[in-house]
Structure 1
Amino acid sequence: MKFKFWGVRGSIPSPGPRTVRYGGNTTCIEVRSDDDTLIVLDGGTGLFCLAQALVASGKRPIDANIFITHSHWDHIHGLPFFTPCSSAAAACACTASPIRRRATASST
C-alpha cells in the first residue's frame, strides 16, 4: 500500500510560503492498494489537487472510492471540485459515516 497526503491542515486551508513544508490544504489522503485501487480518505481542499493529478496522469478510467470520516467542513470542502466525478470516463463512490445526534441534558 502507498499513501500520499494531499492535505493535512486543520479547519482553514492556508496554502502559501508559510505552509510549503507540510502543505496548506485541508485533509485528503490518497491510498493506493497493491492492485492500484484508489481509496481517498476525506475530501478536504487537497482533493482538488488530487483531481488535477489524476486528470493529468491520463490514466483512464478513473475509479475513486472516497470515504468521508465525518462531515466537518474541512473534510468535505473539496468534494464539489473533484472533477473526475463529473466525467463519464470515471466511477466515483462516496461513503460517509452517518450523522448521529449527541445526547444532551434535555434529550435524556
Structure 2
Amino acid sequence: QQVGLTPIVLHGAGPQLDEELAAAGIEKQTIDGLRVTSAPALGIVRRVFQQQNLRLVEALQAMDTRATSVLSGVFSARYLDRERYGMVGKVERVDLAPIEASLRAGSIPVLA
C-alpha cells in the first residue's frame, strides 16, 4: 500500500491443517497431489482456514496495514469427483464484488 499497490492475498493453511487433523485422529490422504477431504474433516478445514485468515489479517493490521477478511461469497465450485476426492471441489466462478469492495475501501482483501 505504501507504494501505491494494493495486493489481493489468497492463503492456505496446509501445515496447520495437518496438525489439527492429526490431533482429531484423521489421517492425511492425498490422491493425484490433492488432499482428500472427508465430511468429518470439512468442519476442521473450515475452522483452521478461518483461524489462519484472522491471524493474517490481525498481523497485517498490527503493522498499520488495512486488511479485510473475506471468508465467503467469492468462490463457487462443484465437486471434482466426490467418490475419489471427497469434498474437494473445482472453482467454477469467482464473484469479484467482495474483493472490489475491500479494494475500494483501501483495504487488502485476505481470502482463504
Give TM-score scaled by structure 1 length: 0.28
Give TM-score scaled by structure 2 length: 0.27
Higher relative helix content = 2
Q: Which has the higher contact order (CA 8 A, sep 6+)?
A: 2
